[in-house]
Structure 1
């Protein structure tokens, strides 16, 4: 017991510090993403820009900014870039397509059903889809408590949709929000697969390549909508697009990938609930949107269910006392001999 405890404790301390940094990264990303919907909603009100065009410019500008940072401030000890193996190509392509669907469908949901409901449905359904994907493709068990939490989330989503009064919830916007959640789940499951198999991609590299793929996917759709907006307020639109590209994209996405790499996916889902809460507050206070009793009830039920899902998934991974006989996780320091 003494030998094992002495050997494992420093590693657990380092892991704890890494987890705290990851949580801080996720919290910051969630706070900035909570402002994305409001910024996009103002862009819609100020111009004829569509969701595909906004997504394209956000991906492209974010990629250019990250490449500029790499040139101006190269990472220490930088070596030659790994060759584009089949696994890396599939990872970048899948993540880029998933993010393109996530972002564009979310912007469409904001346009069709409003900021508050669009954000709440997207961020409420995404952890449920992620848990299902983890079970189907990664063999992760959700457990009885997790299944109850998924059922509660679906019940909250049903209440939210059925309460759709005119001007509050629109079915087309809800469908786009669910599609956005599915895109998020694809990117999340791929990220978890990458960590499990030790691909070791840096957050900045994964973000740059994902944005490149996303921009390529969105270009024809953005071209059809119109790449240049017609607006009576060009300064406002340009400023908002610059904010989207810098703070909520080039800064927030690498932080999100960095945090997700060291924090449990279930924990990350709970931290990212900062986003819908912040977005809903902004929508009600500054954008004139309203929340009905049913919408609030469905929202609270969904958020409570997702928190329960996170607890259910996190419980089996609680650190056991040394010598109990439980097997360490495949990538844990305690497994090395």
Structure 2
């Protein structure tokens, strides 16, 4: 059971990410997504940074600044690029291309830089999950192909895959908790100038505090702490494939809490997504047990 825990941690992280979209619906209307990302990052990173300082588990003098900066930059690029893709080409296409391309780019980066070719299990799980993701989002009929939007979505996929790989190297030198704390605090600071330009007066409204706190603590602090804890023990490509649990969770929450309707095709997509996640989790765990 212990050998499957890293996969479970990453999957739980994806589930927590999937709650962010639903939580955002409780914020005031007209808020720029980038400013939400900034607040989510600062709250999530700041809470863990305080904990790390109190626990004396962080040393600023000997910290791995290079890896942390690149991880923070990748995450800061991922969020605006994803939001731009959604604005340009719609939620369905933007989400499918971004989330669906991330595992592919993760496998390519792992192959190029670590000289480790992803195996058949990863390929099967990734194909199942991407097809499921396409069926889940495309069944709504909202299909708008805008080249600039597709480009932004692909760049967002590269950014998330890059964040995962850089974080893998960061974890070789630093513990997961301070790594998440530093990465997201810096990410929030990178997004802060843009957010101030767009306006942040909505932050003073008490009705927005609880959703922001939930997104910051659960959708960022706890989620990415679990993600990096699991990432330390498994391949980056497998972790990114498991992150496809995010759209699966978002879709199910939309049905259960917001009253959205899924077609038969969409439910088939849900089944394929779940199948891909189960393959990468239990098949890889079985392989580890056979080796050991």
Contact 1:124 1:302 in 2 (8 A): no
Q: Secondary structure at the match of 1:34?
A: helix
Report the equivalent of 1:83. Answer: 62
Contact 2:106 2:240 in 1 (8 A): no
Q: Secondary structure at the match of 1:35?
A: helix
Report the equivalent of 2:162. Answer: 186
- Residue 36 (structure 2) pairs with residue 54 (structure 1): yes
**For the aligned residues, what is the CA RMSD?**
3.7
1:18-33 to structure 2, matched below 5 A, reads: 19-33=3-17
- Residue 117 (structure 2) pairs with residue 141 (structure 1): yes
Output the CA distance in 1 between the equivalents of 2:259 and 2:145.
20
Picking from 191, 201, 220, the partner of 2:174 is 201
Output the CA distance in 1 between the equivalents of 2:281 and 2:108.
13
Picking from 229, 235, 250, the partner of 1:279 is 250
Q: Secondary structure at the match of 1:229?
A: helix
Contact 1:59 1:212 in 2 (8 A): yes
Structure 1 length-normalised TM: 0.69
1:106-121 to structure 2, matched below 5 A, reads: 106-107=82-83, 113-114=90-91, 121=97
- Residue 188 (structure 2) pairs with residue 215 (structure 1): yes
Contact 1:48 1:229 in 2 (8 A): no
Change (3 A) 1:67 1:152: closer
- The alpha-carbon deviation at position 152 of structure 1 amounts to 6.1
Report the equivalent of 1:12. Answer: none
Larger radius of gyration: 1
Moved more, 125-134 or 285-294: 285-294
Structure 2 length-normalised TM: 0.78
Contact 1:122 1:178 in 2 (8 A): yes
- The alpha-carbon deviation at position 305 of structure 1 amounts to 5.7
| Residue-by-residue CA offset, 1:18-61 (whole Å, 9 max, x unaligned) | x3443443343222211011112443xx3221111111111122
- The alpha-carbon deviation at position 264 of structure 1 amounts to 3.7
1:297-316 to structure 2, matched below 5 A, reads: 304=275
